[in-house]
């Protein structure tokens, strides 16, 4: 079992747009190399759990609480874009038999929900994921609902990126998982690269950093930018 949590605080100006790069080659920084993706995977996953963890089963997300219409919109965008990644198991919204519960909760009710689900302190958002033998089995995400919509959009993306196996935070300020708590509206080039490298079907749960390194040594970056 693995848990991850805590996120984004407030003092930053709201974001003006939301969008996701599913093909980062279009606006590519062509100096980027696979090593940057490897570093990111190490930083936000393997430094914590030692061997590769990811979802292998379909991700069935149930939404509860008081999401706004825009919340559902954004969620659908995220799902659509994540589902484009080769090897990523199908993610969708369900009404029952969920393995991910996503709850939008007003600030006044956060402590109640925190106790009910035995979560850590919630500041704007939290994600706790549970895995077995490297396979992520289920997760719970709580989002504070009564904050600025643009800000909330970046928190949801941040928490869902935790949910798919990127448990930690990054020193890269462009990452949606940056640790200076800056809201980022879309996956960065390196976020996207690491996402594709982790969910590459040839990368198996249980592989360690050394094995990952060897695997990617003779690979071309263009194969991970489809
Ligand atoms: Zn976080």
- Domain containing residue 213: CATH number: 3.40.390.10
Q: In terms of pLDDT, which residue wins out, 17 or 22?
A: 22
Q: Is the pLDDT of residue 5 over 60?
A: no
Question: What is the model's pLDDT at position 18?
Answer: 33
pLDDT class of 223 with cuts at 50, 70, 90 = confident
Residue 94 alpha carbon to ligand 1 centre in Å: 24
In a domain, 16, yes or no: no
> Residue 25 falls within a domain, yes or no?
no
- The residue among 33 and 91 whose pLDDT is bigger is 91
Query: Has residue 142 got a pLDDT over 80?
Result: yes
Distance 169 CA to ligand 1 centre (A): 6
Question: Which band of pLDDT confidence, cut at 50, 70 and 90, is reported for residue 7?
Answer: very low
**Ligand 1 geometric centre to CA of 191 (Å):** 14
Report CA(31)–ligand 1 centroid distance (Å): 27
pLDDT at 226: 55
Position 51 scores a pLDDT of: 97
Local confidence band at 180 (pLDDT 50, 70, 90 cut-offs)? confident
* pLDDT tens by residue, 130-140: 999 999 999 99
Name which residue leads in pLDDT, 2 or 98.
98
Q: Which domain holds residue 75?
A: 34-224
Number of domains in the chain: 1
Is the torsion defined by CA of 3, 139, 47, 173 positive or negative?
negative
pTM over 0.85: yes
| Residue 95, pLDDT score | 97
Distance 218 CA to ligand 1 centre (A): 32
Does any domain span residue 162? yes
6 belongs to a structural domain: no
Ligand 1 centroid distance, CA of 177 (Å): 6
> Does residue 18 fall inside a structural domain?
no
Between the CA of 170 and the centroid of ligand 1 the distance, in Å, is 10
Identify which has the larger pLDDT, 26 or 56. 56
- Cα of 76 vs centre of ligand 1, distance in Å, is 21
Q: How far is the CA of 160 from the centre of ligand 1 (A)?
A: 10
Percent of the chain scoring above 90 in pLDDT: 79
175 inside domain: yes
- Give the pLDDT confidence of 41-69 residue by residue, as tens digits: 999 999 999 999 999 999 999 999 999 99
Q: How far is the CA of 127 from the centre of ligand 1 (A)?
A: 8
- Ligand 1: centre distance to CA 219 (Å): 30
* Distance from Cα 124 to the centre of ligand 1, integer Å: 10
Is 17 inside a domain boundary? Answer: no
pLDDT at 20 over 60: no
Distance in Å, CA 178 to ligand 1 centroid: 8
Return the SS3 of 163.
helix
Mean pLDDT of the 189-195 span: 96
In three-state secondary structure terms, 50 is coil
Indicate whether 28 pLDDT > 80.
no
Q: Residue 30: what pLDDT?
A: 57
How far, in Å, from the CA of 84 to the mean position of ligand 1?
A: 23
Q: Which residues make up the environment of ion ligand 1, defined by Cβ < 5 Å?
A: 7
The mean predicted confidence, pLDDT, of the chain is 88
What is the CA(40)–ligand 1 centre distance, in A?
A: 15
> What was the pLDDT predicted at 103?
98
Question: Residues 6 or more apart from 184 whose CB is under 8 A from it?
Answer: 154, 157, 158, 174, 175, 176, 178
Q: Is residue 151 part of a domain?
A: yes
């Amino acid at each position: 079992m693995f848990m991850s949590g805590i996120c984004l605080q407030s003092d930053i100006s709201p974001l003006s747009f939301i969008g996701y790069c599913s093909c980062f080659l279009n606006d590519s920084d062509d100096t980027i190399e696979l090593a940057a993706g490897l570093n990111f995977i190490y930083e936000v996953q393997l430094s914590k759990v030692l061997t590769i963890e990811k979802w292998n089963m379909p991700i069935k997300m149930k939404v509860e609480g008081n999401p706004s219409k825009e919340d559902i919109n954004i969620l659908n965008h995220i799902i659509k874009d994540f589902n484009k990644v080769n090897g990523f198991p199908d993610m969708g919204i369900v009404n029952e038999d969920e393995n991910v519960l996503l709850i939008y909760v007003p600030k006044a009710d956060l402590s109640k929900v925190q106790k009910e689900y035995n979560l850590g302190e919630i500041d704007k958002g939290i994600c706790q994921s549970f895995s077995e033998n490297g396979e992520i089995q289920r997760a719970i995400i709580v989002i504070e609902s009564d904050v600025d919509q643009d800000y909330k959009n970046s928190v949801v993306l941040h928490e869902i990126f935790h949910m798919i196996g990127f448990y930690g935070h990054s020193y890269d300020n462009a990452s949606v998982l940056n640790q200076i708590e800056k809201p980022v509206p879309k996956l960065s080039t390196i976020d996207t690269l690491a996402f594709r490298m982790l969910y590459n079907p040839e990368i198996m749960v249980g592989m360690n950093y050394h094995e990952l390194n060897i695997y990617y040594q003779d690979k071309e970056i263009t194969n991970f930018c489809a």
